[in-house]
């Protein structure tokens, strides 16, 4: 079931999916493949998903070695990541993210693609740094941000590349709740998963699609626009 970078653990009320890819928990093709396989397994089992990273970091974003290797390589990875966000936003079961530290760039976009996001109090950075590193924000990224952030925070986060501490990330819309410590994030997520498991899953899935119908359509259009353009960094 697992690959080396993504693990899947099935529990009574939830499935725990963990990204474990080195210091930055970078998102590459293998991580996305592992996440897709894990989401499929959770769907088969009818499990609420808890998605997490490693202590101190959820994810620092796309693997920059791939992103800087060529425009074509960058486009392929960005497209795959955007398709993952589309799947998460339309996933028939609740997705909870236990963000146990930093969440930058695609890491923050994953937060914006989940149903409930639990962060941790502390000196952690959360936000979209694309403009900071010289990347014009991709169309799909703008669509994802528009689906979850208010107009004020959309501009601060996407156009100005403002990076937030966890408390301000709640205000901005990247997180819903803060746990008091890294050690408390997963136990808090398990409690939330218990509440989510009481939902009528069919009603949850259908309502989610109704609420996000326009956003999902805009995201699909954004993915196509990105395929027709060039992804460049720096």
User: E-assigned strands of the chain?
Assistant: 6-10, 14-19, 48-52, 56-59, 95-98, 101-104, 116-120, 126-127, 163-164, 177-179
Burial of 56 (0-12, 13-18, 19+ CB in 10 A): middle
Burial of 220 (0-12, 13-18, 19+ CB in 10 A): middle
pLDDT in tens, the chain (234 residues): 456 899 999 998 899 999 999 999 999 999 999 999 999 999 999 999 999 999 899 999 999 999 999 999 999 999 999 999 999 999 999 999 999 999 999 999 999 999 999 999 999 999 999 999 999 999 999 999 999 999 999 999 999 999 999 999 999 999 999 999 999 999 999 999 999 999 999 999 999 999 999 999 999 999 999 998 876 665
**Tally of residues, the chain:** 234
**Superfamily classification of domain 6-185+193-227:** 2-enoyl-CoA Hydratase; Chain A, domain 1 (3.90.226.10)
pTM: 0.95
**Neighbouring C-beta atoms of residue 124, cutoff 10 Å:** 21
Tokens coding 135:
């990347």
- Per-domain residue ranges of the chain: 6-185+193-227
């Amino acid at each position: 079931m697992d690959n080396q970078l993504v693990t899947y653990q099935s529990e009574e009320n939830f499935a725990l999916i963990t990204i474990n890819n080195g210091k930055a928990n970078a998102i590459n093709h293998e991580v996305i493949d592992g996440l897709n396989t894990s989401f499929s397994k959770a769907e088969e089992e009818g499990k609420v998903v808890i998605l997490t990273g490693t202590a101190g970091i959820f994810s620092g974003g796309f693997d920059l070695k791939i992103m800087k290797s060529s425009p074509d390589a960058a486009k392929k990875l960005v497209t795959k990541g955007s398709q993952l966000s589309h799947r998460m936003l339309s996933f028939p079961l609740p997705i909870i993210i236990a963000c146990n530290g930093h969440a930058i760039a695609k890491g923050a976009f994953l937060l914006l693609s989940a149903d409930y996001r639990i962060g941790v109090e502390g000196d952690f950075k959360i936000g979209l740094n694309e403009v900071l590193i010289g990347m014009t924000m991709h169309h799909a990224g703008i669509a994802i941000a528009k689906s979850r952030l208010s107009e004020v925070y959309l501009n601060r986060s996407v156009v100005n590349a403002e990076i937030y501490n966890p408390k301000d990330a709640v205000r901005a819309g990247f997180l819903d709740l803060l746990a008091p410590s890294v050690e408390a994030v997963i136990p808090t997520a398990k409690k939330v998963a218990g509440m989510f498991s009481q939902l009528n899953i069919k009603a949850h899935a259908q309502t989610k699609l109704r609420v996000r119908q326009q956003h999902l359509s805009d995201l699909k259009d954004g993915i196509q626009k990105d395929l027709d353009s060039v992804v460049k960094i720096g």
